[in-house]
Structure 1
Amino acid sequence: MELVDEAAVLATEKYGSQETWKYRLKGDVINRERQADGSSRTGGSITGAFKSIFLPQGYPESVSDDYVEYQIWDTLQAFSSSMSGTLATQASLKGVGVGNQAATVAAATVTWLLRDGTGMLGRILFAWLKGNKLDSEAKKWRLFADILNDFAMFIEILAPYYPPMFTLIACIAGVFKSIVGVAGGATRAALTVHQARRNNMADISAKDGSQETLVNLAGLLVSLVLIPLVTDNPRLTFALFFLFTALHLFANYKAVRSVVMETLNEARLSIVLEQYLSDGRVLSPREANPKEPVFLEWRKEVPIKLGVSLRELVTSTQDLQLALKHHHKPFLIGIQQGCVSVCLSSEASVADEIEAACQALCLAAVMKASPPPPQQLRQLALAKGQDPWVLVSESYKFMDQMFPAFLLDLEKAKWLTDRTLLDWNEWRVDWRKKMS
């Protein structure tokens, strides 16, 4: 008969990285012993209870590495926005007649309804025009939404000082805030997709809501002290508003800068490709993300259009013959009116999409007046002064040599290559491989 050592460990278990337990046999009883310090999931300590309430289950393994830094800055910006919003709300109430015996309920109601109505229309229009951009440029639109929100609150504070224009100003602010609601909510969802590491988007979103509610509660308590001080004191109102706005914008800038996304959009792909063409090194996501621009660019020197209709690429049979010359890819690239356009085949894979975007970026770099293209593109630049189709044909040859190794290096650098955030339109073209 085999004897069991009473000191022997029968089993071990752990709860994420927070705590570890061991089961030991003592006589006929199995004892459970904690082997590492950590907060109990059941709320055995204040820290454990706080994590359980406000952080996603499985933290930190269940979220991205940039989660904590982003949430710290996001919390600070939410508090600042809450305080600015209090000042703006006070101004709005004053503008519709709260405290004014001459004001009527009907007039205030009409103003409020007009503001809400124009805001609803603005929400629909913005989602229609820019909804497809919010995934590919989440950082830019996140920061844009917060800047626009501050501007909307600023004109709300100004509105009571221009009584004849109050309704118009309130409607304009309503439109701006509706845009903020769409852009802010959509980009927050895009960032939640990035942060979720265990298909736990709903949990992260719910805990983010809890964090924001806690911050708003803190802002409410501070507002109770602040409101009596700023009432009928416009100088202090504006001074505090600009202070909170500056803090809000700074925290938002730091928040979007802290995000390290592993999916490729046009900006990140351009940064990585430029470095690769310069010295053959592929930047990791943590190296490339800080270089990504976070402010919207309203006009590019050489625009790139991905997934366009064939009619934007060719205008004649001759153009189509030139586009297909020496061609074996599931995409077509052309240069029309200073713009690089890409037609995508329905057979194209994600790797083909990345290659097409890389080729378009190379062509755009060659076509720019400044700065000069990277060293590896100098040979391609020699065809710049010739017919655009010659330049396109040479770019296919260049990509055949460069792209296979580049794609492998992307995967080694921990970039996701099974999906992208490239801003592809929905056009897909199937063309004849040979033309008589």
Structure 2
Amino acid sequence: MEKDTSLVLATEKYGCGESWRYLVKDGAMERKRDGSEGGTRGSSVVGVFKSVFLPQGYPESVSDDYLQYQFWDTVQAFSSSLSGTLATQASLKGVGVGNQEATVAAATVTWLLRDGTGMLGRILFAWRKGSKLDSEAKKWRLFADVLNDIAMFMEILAPNFPACFTLIVCTAGIFKSIVGVAGGATRAALTVHQARRDNMADISAKDGSQETLVNLAGLLISLVLIPLVTDNPLLTLSLFLLFTILHLYANYKAVRSVVMETFNEARLSIVLHQYLRDGRILSPVEANQREPVFLEFRKTVPVKLGVRLKEVVQSPEELNLALKNNNMPFLLSVKNGCVCVCLGPEASVGDEIRAVCQAVCLSSSLHPEAPLTGASQQPLIQKRQSHWEMVCDSHKLMDQIFNPFLKGVEAAGWQINRTLLDWDEWRVEWKAKSS
């Protein structure tokens, strides 16, 4: 076998893919690929597909959970596209398409009312819940898809109730407007998580390309489905239920596959409780697997962050109690069944994490059925007659555990330079404890 005596002038690489060498052979420079498999991005069918539908620099330019999330997101988008076709066909039938007695004016009024109520719903939902969509992106993403299926189910049933048709489609329009806000906002939040090279725009654009391809495939299949389901409500409903089940399952798997490395209240609470039980710090993967993805409408002792001073203390005496054993730039109290946290303007991200840890400990200690316990199964904060005594005990507990806890979570791979904790905008400067 003849030995290659060519001189290597340089090597180059495209991301983690192909590697090439520049050689000098017979006085000329040649470019030769290392190995025999693959091809340059864009020079083969697979390469073209990656170039069109995946972000530049994939997989280094995105988070580790990107591919799994996008797979399930594609499945849910495909099933949603087919369900949407069935709902649209039912809506058109309901407004009179194909009915010679129906008037254009009546159909137009119904459509305008549906769109108008949807616009109002969009504005109101963004006003009431817009700040929650970052901190609980997974919950609201799943909520949006469930609500979307409910809206489409209402549209399919609406033609069977002609007297209430306008009311039903307007209600469905409100639901879909909420879906648009919640789905779009949480998609943006997940894009921030996936972008590892400040490439949010590229990831968002490629995500749009993937969704367009899926919708095109759904459109082609819909051309076959529509003649089959026309004038066959039982088949329409059966197919809709089938696509809905697939849609909800794919959405659940999609949000479960997301591994956020930043703390929200749920993830921080999960990691803190594990640390208090046995001293172990959960990794982002472990904590995300335990994080609830369904909205919880009842909390025994909810936590309110960044509140006004009057929600924490109502008198100078209570301010002195809030400052007892407290040299941190935040105040805590238990008022009206809530743990309230008032934040100072000089508070750092570490202070914010500590404040939420302390609030979570207080909330758990006040739980009537599952109080906060340590490795010895003894309560870490004893229940007392005065909530202020429990607040004081919580300061002492944080003084003991917080610094090693913070070092541990950073070593485990959590980001502590920023958080997704749901702080309101109130910031208060208070005078020191009076003598």
Residue 127 of structure 2 is matched in structure 1 by 128
Does 1:144 pair with 2:149?
A: no
Distance 1:405 1:381 in 2: 19
Corresponding residue of 1:38: 38
Distance 1:165 1:396 in 2: 58
Q: Secondary structure at the match of 1:255?
A: helix
Q: Give the drift of 1:100.
A: 0.3
- Alpha-carbon distance between aligned partners in 1 of 2:94 and 2:378, rounded to the nearest angstrom: 62
For residues 357-404 of structure 1, give each alpha carbon's deviation from its aligned partner in whole angstroms, at most 9, with x where no partner exists: 00000111111012242226835432x123111110111011011000
Amino acid corresponding to residue 395 of structure 1 in structure 2: S
- Please show how residues 309-348 of structure 1 align to structure 2 within 5 Å: 309-348=308-347
Contact 2:381-2:393 within 8 A present in 1 as well: no
What residue identity is the alignment partner of 1:378? Q
Q: How far apart are the structure 2 equivalents of 1:411 and 1:206?
A: 32
TM-score by length of 2: 0.97
C-alpha contact (below 8 Å) 1:71/1:255 kept by paired residues: yes
Provide the C-alpha distance between the structure 2 equivalents of 1:205 and 1:38, rounded to a whole number of angstroms: 27
Deviations 1:94-137 (A, max 9, x none): 01100000001111111000100000000000000000000000
- Alignment correspondent of 1:364: 363
Aligned residues: 430
Find the counterpart in structure 2 of residue 381 from structure 1. Answer: 381
> Contact 2:374–2:380 (CA<8 Å) still a contact in 1?
no
- For structure 2, list consecutive stretches of 5 or more residues without a partner in the other structure: none
**AA matched with 1:228:** P
For 2:181, what is the secondary structure of its paired residue? helix
Instruction: Report the alpha carbon displacement of residue 284 of structure 1 after superposing the two structures with TM.
Output: 0.5
What secondary structure does 1:22 align onto?
strand
CA distance, structure 1, for counterparts of residue 241 and residue 432 of structure 2: 62
In the TM superposition, 1:182-331 aligns within 5 A as 182-331=181-330
Q: CA deviation at 1:45?
A: 1.2
| Aligned-partner Cα distance in 1 for 2:317–2:336 | 17
Q: Is the 8 A contact 2:7 2:25 kept in 1?
A: no
Query: Partner of 1:334: helix, strand, or coil?
Result: strand
Contact 1:135 1:421 in 2 (8 A): yes
Q: Decide whether the 8 Å contact of 2:343 with 2:426 is kept in 1.
A: yes
Q: Distance in 1 between matches of 2:244 and 2:52?
A: 29
In 2, the alpha carbon distance for the partners of 1:39 and 1:140 equals 41
TM superposition score normalised by structure 1: 0.97
Instruction: Give the C-alpha shift of residue 257 in structure 1.
Output: 0.2
Residue 276 of structure 1, CA deviation = 0.5
Partners in 2 of 1:372 and 1:174 — Cα distance? Answer: 44
Q: Is the 8 A contact 1:6 1:27 kept in 2?
A: no
Matched, 1:179 2:182: no
Map of 2:67 onto structure 1: 68
Instruction: Write the distance in 1 (CA, Å) between the matches of 2:17 and 2:164.
Output: 58
C-alpha deviations, 1:154-185, integer Å up to 9, x for none?
00001011111111111101000000000000
Aligned partners of 1:145, 1:180: CA distance in 2, in Å? 5
Percent of residue pairs identical: 70
Q: CA deviation at 1:28?
A: 2.3
Assess if the C-alpha contact under 8 Å between 1:119 and 1:178 holds in 2.
yes
Q: Which residue identity lines up with residue 146 of structure 1 in the other structure?
A: D
Deviation at residue 6 of structure 1 after TM alignment: 5.7
Conserved in 1, the CA contact under 8 Å of 2:9 and 2:22? yes
SS of the residue 1:381 aligns to: coil
Report what 2:165 is aligned to. Answer: 166
Unpaired runs of 5+ residues, structure 1, are none
Aligned counterparts of 1:380 and 1:257: Cα–Cα separation in 2: 32
Q: State which drifts further: 254-263 or 330-339.
A: 330-339
Q: In structure 1, what is the Cα distance between the partners aligned to 2:243 and 2:69?
A: 19
User: Offset of 1:432 from its aligned partner?
Assistant: 0.7
Q: Distance in 2 between matches of 1:30 and 1:427?
A: 66
Worse overlay, 314-323 or 152-161: 314-323
Where does residue 155 of structure 2 map in the other structure?
156
In structure 1, the residue corresponding to 2:111 is in which secondary structure? helix
- 1:433 is displaced (CA, Å) by 1.4
1:420 aligns with 2:432: no
Q: 1:431 matched to which residue of 2?
A: 430
Matches of 2:177 and 2:261 in 1, distance apart?
30
